[in-house]
């Protein structure tokens, strides 16, 4: 057997490990490199902080709160704007060490296209489309909760770039697999599965929400079972078209990462775990390699989507009742 390798080919991008640092968790990448002991050799790519066309100050505090098994955040996409990121931040990043993926958000379908066009003329390796944003022009409904609107966003971004497009799917919708199918038709190259679940925390003494925006995105180990199921569901659509998935949501160990890969993810996203252990990526990589050696697996592609589902007993409710 060949020596196990963590190298992954994702949408034509060669990554040295399957780990992608998730948007919003490491800023624009340069902050994270200041941590003693950190190495870009441990990761395959970094998703840059969510970027909008114009600068945004973000939401009022509190923006982040720890919860049992994770955290809730509502940053409000604070960022200096796409042009500043491209002109001032990207030139400071070392593209020889790892891959960088832009993460974009818009308040209208047209704005998504404008931002994509700007990043098309930049050195980023791919563009991640965050469709979990309110469509301001259409009354505030979230783009990603409507398959047809999701597809329209992907379509306008596809026309604006030849770079790989990664569509970040929200779990807060009725049929995530149908949404994925429509986004594939519209031209996406891959998916991030999943974005955060919506949650709330309440100060019982003030009788008010702790988060300044009342609600926020729940991430961390608490959402892992939901994320695994969504990856499995989306993979059923993706495998027909050879569309790769970044599996994410509560990954805190090599075992977690392997579950996502077996469920159908080609790469895995690490985010909330970094707040507890900024150097966790190395231990995840080491654990994956040990597993590959034990099971005589030379390439991670051999594990992707190898889940063998159980046949349900007759008349057994899917809800587990």
Count Cα atoms within 13 angstroms, Cβ side, for 68: 0
Which position among 133, 157, 183, 281 bears the catalytic label? 133
DSSP letter for 298, please.
-
CA distance 169 to 144: 7
Contacts of 163 (CB under 8 A, 6+ apart): 119, 120, 124, 125, 126, 127
**CA separation, residue 112 to residues 2, 103, 217, 302 (Å):** 44, 11, 21, 35
pTM: 0.95
133 among known catalytic residues: yes
pLDDT in tens, the chain (321 residues): 689 999 999 999 999 999 999 999 999 987 777 777 777 889 999 999 999 999 999 999 999 999 999 999 999 999 999 999 999 999 999 999 899 999 999 999 999 999 999 999 999 999 999 998 765 555 556 888 999 999 999 999 999 999 999 999 999 898 999 999 999 999 999 999 999 999 999 999 999 999 999 999 999 999 999 999 999 999 999 999 999 999 999 999 999 999 999 999 999 999 999 999 999 999 999 999 999 999 999 999 999 999 999 987 666 666 666
Give the domain ranges of the chain.
8-302
Taking domain 8-302, whether its CATH number is 3.30.70.330 is answered by no
């Amino acid at each position: 057997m060949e020596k196990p390798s963590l190298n992954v080919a994702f949408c034509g991008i060669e990554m040295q490990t399957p780990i992608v640092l998730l948007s919003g968790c490491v800023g624009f990448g340069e902050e994270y490199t200041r941590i003693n002991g950190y190495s870009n050799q441990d990761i395959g790519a970094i998703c840059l902080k969510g970027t909008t066309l114009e600068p945004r100050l973000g939401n009022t505090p509190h923006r982040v709160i720890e919860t049992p098994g994770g955290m809730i955040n509502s940053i409000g996409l604070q960022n200096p704007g796409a042009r500043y990121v491209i002109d001032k931040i990207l030139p400071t990043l070392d593209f020889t060490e790892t891959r960088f993926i832009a993460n974009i958000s818009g308040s209208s379908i047209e704005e998504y296209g404008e931002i994509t066009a700007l990043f098309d003329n930049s050195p980023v390796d791919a563009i991640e489309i965050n469709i979990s944003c309110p469509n301001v022009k259409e009354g505030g409904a979230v783009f990603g909760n409507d398959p047809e609107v999701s597809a329209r966003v992907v379509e306008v971004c596809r026309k604006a770039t030849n770079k790989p497009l990664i569509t970040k799917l929200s779990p807060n919708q009725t049929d995530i697999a149908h949404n994925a199918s429509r986004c594939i038709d519209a031209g996406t190259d891959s998916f991030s599965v999943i974005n955060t679940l919506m949650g709330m925390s309440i100060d019982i003494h003030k009788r008010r929400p702790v988060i300044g925006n009342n609600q926020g995105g729940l991430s961390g180990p608490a959402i892992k079972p939901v994320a695994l199921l969504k990856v499995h569901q989306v993979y059923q659509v993706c495998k027909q078209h050879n569309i790769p998935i970044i599996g994410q949501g509560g990954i805190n160990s090599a075992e977690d990462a392997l579950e996502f890969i077996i469920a159908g993810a080609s790469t895995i996203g690490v985010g909330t775990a970094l707040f507890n252990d900024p150097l966790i990526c190395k231990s995840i990589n080491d654990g994956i390699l040990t597993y590959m050696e034990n099971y005589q697996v030379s390439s991670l592609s051999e594990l992707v989507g190898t889940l063998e589902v159980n046949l349900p007993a007759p008349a057994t409710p899917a809800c587990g009742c």
